[in-house]
Amino acid sequence: MIINKVEICGVNTSKLPVLKNKEMRVLFKDMQSGDTQSRQKIINGNLRLVLSVIQRFTNRGEYVDDLFQVGCIGLMKAIDNFDLGQNVKFSTYAVPMIIGEIRRYLRDNNPIRVSRSLRDIAYKALQVRDSLVNKNSKEPTITEIAKVLDIPREDIVFALDAIQEPLSLFEPIYNDGGDPIYVMDQVRDDKNTDYNWVENIAIKESLERLNDREKLILSLRFFDGKTQMEVADEIGISQAQVSRLEKAALNIMKKQMS
């Protein structure tokens, strides 16, 4: 098996080696001391990890061989950038790197064209995101990425949304052994009812009565789905303050809508 051009057709993947965590740490120390054979052993010992990751992308019509090759590129990037001092399992660090590499490949081969400027912003945001994950060992917020790039938060959200690959209505989302449930089974149009039309107007009018910080908190909580603790970290106040401001803002909106 050639790592730079992986062939998996006809290869018995069940015989691929699996390394224990202690073995991995020894090999990483040897690799970082200049032992190229240790690097090769780490790659071979994590090919099953690549195989497990690409299974979630196999329903998109892509050749499995291509996805495997791209996944191996992500694996090698993870190996070359892994820091033993972070005290995390290699697989925990490597899986997001492999997924990111595959998603970039799928976006680059997406038949739906996005403007160059949007793609540039999105790719810069993804690079900053990867850098912050490596540095802090946690997923950064959009606000943190926007601060590094000195670009408005809304522009980054719009750019990242623009490069997302479309989801097929016929993609299965659940199967218990019987008939599968597809995305289209979960979709219905409730947006055009008279009730929702009036309700949306009332919500927009009541939101206008809030200050900027209250609007931001409600947006992060109910549109972005963040917890109060995540909102507190993002805007730099305590969780108790977020809870109090959120409750006060909702009370204002309820009075305006009643």
Q: What is the pLDDT of residues 126-152, one digit of tens each?
A: 899 988 988 888 888 888 999 999 988
**Residue 210, CA atoms < 13 Å, CB-side half-sphere:** 24
For position 51, what pLDDT does the model report?
86
Helix, strand, or coil here: 181?
strand
Q: How far lies 85's CA from each of 27, 30, 82, 111, 214, in Å? A: 14, 15, 9, 42, 40
Domain 113-164 has CATH 1.10.10.10: yes
The residue with greater pLDDT, 181 or 100, is 100
Contact 101, 123 (CB under 8 A): no
CATH no. for 188-257: 1.10.10.10
Per-domain residue ranges for the chain? Answer: 1-109, 113-164, 188-257
For position 36, what pLDDT does the model report?
85
The residue with greater pLDDT, 103 or 194, is 103
Alpha carbon distance 147, 153 (integer Å)? 8
Same fold: 1-109 with 113-164 = no
Q: How far lies 216's CA from each of 74, 140, 169, in Å? A: 35, 17, 32
Domain 1-109 has CATH 1.20.120.1810: yes
For position 4, what pLDDT does the model report?
40
